[in-house]
Amino acid sequence: MITFYPGPSKVYPQVEQYLSDAYQSGILSVNHRSEPFMVMLKETIEVMKSKLDIPEAYEIYFCSSATECWEIIAQSLIATKSLHLHNGAFGEKWLEYTQKIKPKSKGFSFDKNSLPIISDIISDQEDEVICLTHNETSNGTALPFSFFTELREQTSQVIAVDATSSIAGVEFPWEAADVWYASVQKCFGLPAGLSVLIASPRAIKLAEKIGDRDFYNSFLFVRDNFLKYQTPYTPNALGIYLAGRVMRQVEPIASISKQTKKRAAEWYEFLAENGYSILIDEQEVRSDTVIAVSGSKDQVANLKKSAKENGILLGNGYGAWKETTFRIANFPAITQNEIDQLKNFLKSEANRLA
């Protein structure tokens, strides 16, 4: 089965060998405060920084999931309230989760075919953290990087970004935000169960000012351990090991990003030429890594069923678009041959229906 599901998605085929290597190496049985683990963690962080071109001053921590990153940010980087921009299900879920911990946090909803107005975003300086979803997986939108750069120029507030379905797939203007996080089961081409949290000196300073150390995953407690190349709790050692191996294998992010954007442009052109409707009309805010295609409830259901019968798994719709869209992952681990097979199927279906 060829999978285009937008997470968990296809893992790199080399992971099969890396799993065996991990077992043979003995790293799966070592203490997470031991020298072998610390060396492995240090090497993984260093190669990830190098391949993703993350600034030296930014720090990387590994957590269990993007959802845990929501919790860490709410506990340790928000004293009173935050502002959450959202135009889809995952941005809204981040807001709802944060409000359980910091009830005064508020949302800012904007249309999926538009960009928020920056002057509105920064009007309340008491918002300690501005929370953005770079790539809204539920509807196939993405905020352009020029938006982050402009926002950074106009505020000194901490900016946190959910980039779950885009980190390791496209280049980022890292210094335009202070916290970036992602789960690895999407563009990283890795099994689920690990997330990456990337923090700037500004974010670290805010965490130190708030001083939260009440939880096993408090930001400062996590950081104290990672500065020693250890973890605050028994970690997903296999996930960290696999992340290091995959990072050594892949091209630098500039090269991957170029390929991702090229493939995305080709996808949008192909879909339009073959009579498929893109959910997002405005090209400026279309995602390069998750493509949402719309249709009637019956059309979408029948297409997904036919695809599965032909050995292809399409992504379900999500949230408000659950039954009237399907989603196509455009992640680096997916090969051009697999893309061609899906295009041949979609073209055949379009011709048959015509």
Nearest to 197 by CA among 223, 158, 229, 169: 223
Cα separations in angstroms, 95 against 102, 119, 180, 182, 301: 10, 20, 16, 16, 31
**Residue-wise pLDDT tens for the chain (354 aa)?**
999 999 899 999 999 999 999 999 999 999 999 999 999 999 999 999 999 999 999 999 999 999 999 999 999 999 999 999 999 999 999 999 999 999 999 999 999 999 999 999 998 888 999 999 999 999 999 999 999 999 999 999 999 999 999 999 999 999 999 999 999 999 999 999 999 999 999 999 999 999 999 999 999 999 999 999 999 999 999 999 999 999 999 999 999 999 999 999 999 999 999 999 999 999 999 999 999 999 999 999 999 999 999 999 999 999 999 999 999 999 999 999 999 999 999 999 998 877
**pLDDT recorded at residue 353:** 76
Residue 320, CA distances (Å) to 31, 222, 278, 316 in order: 45, 36, 15, 12
Sign of CA dihedral 145, 150, 151, 153: positive
Q: CA–CA distance from 30 to each of 24, 42, 61, 232, 350 (Å)? A: 12, 15, 19, 15, 54
Domains of the chain with bracketed CATH: 2-8+252-353 (3.90.1150.10), 15-249 (3.40.640.10)
Q: What is the pTM (predicted TM-score) of this model? A: 0.96
Which pLDDT belongs to residue 268? 98
- List the one residue out of 216, 248, 227 whose CA is nearest residue 63: 216
User: Strand 106-109's sheet: what is its strand order?
Assistant: 59-63, 195-199, 179-183, 158-162, 129-133, 82-86, 106-109
For residue 295, the model assigns a pLDDT of 95
Closest alpha carbon to 288 in 114, 183, 169, 173: 169
pLDDT score recorded for residue 124: 87
Contact (CB, 8 A) for 200 and 189: no
Helix (H, G, I), strand (E, B) or coil at 76: helix
Bridge partners, residue 85, by sequence: 108
How far apart CA 115 and CA 318 sit, in angstroms, is 21
- The type of residue at 46 is E
Residue 54 β-bridge partners: none
Nearest to 8 by CA among 133, 195, 247, 259: 195
> Rounded to the nearest 10 degrees, what angle do helices 15-25 and 237-249 cross at?
130
CA-CA distance, 193 to 255, in Å (whole number)?
26
Q: Cα–Cα distances in Å, from 227 out to 27, 211, 236, 302?
A: 20, 17, 18, 52
Extended beta strands in the chain, E state? 2-3, 59-63, 82-86, 106-109, 129-133, 135-136, 141-142, 158-162, 179-183, 195-199, 277-278, 290-294, 312-313, 315-316, 325-329
Helix axes 219-226, 66-76, angle to 10 degrees: 110
Residue 26: Cβ-neighbour burial (10 angstroms; 0-12, 13-18, 19+):
exposed
In 3D space, the residue among 78, 80, 147, 84 whose CA is nearest the CA of residue 118 turns out to be 147
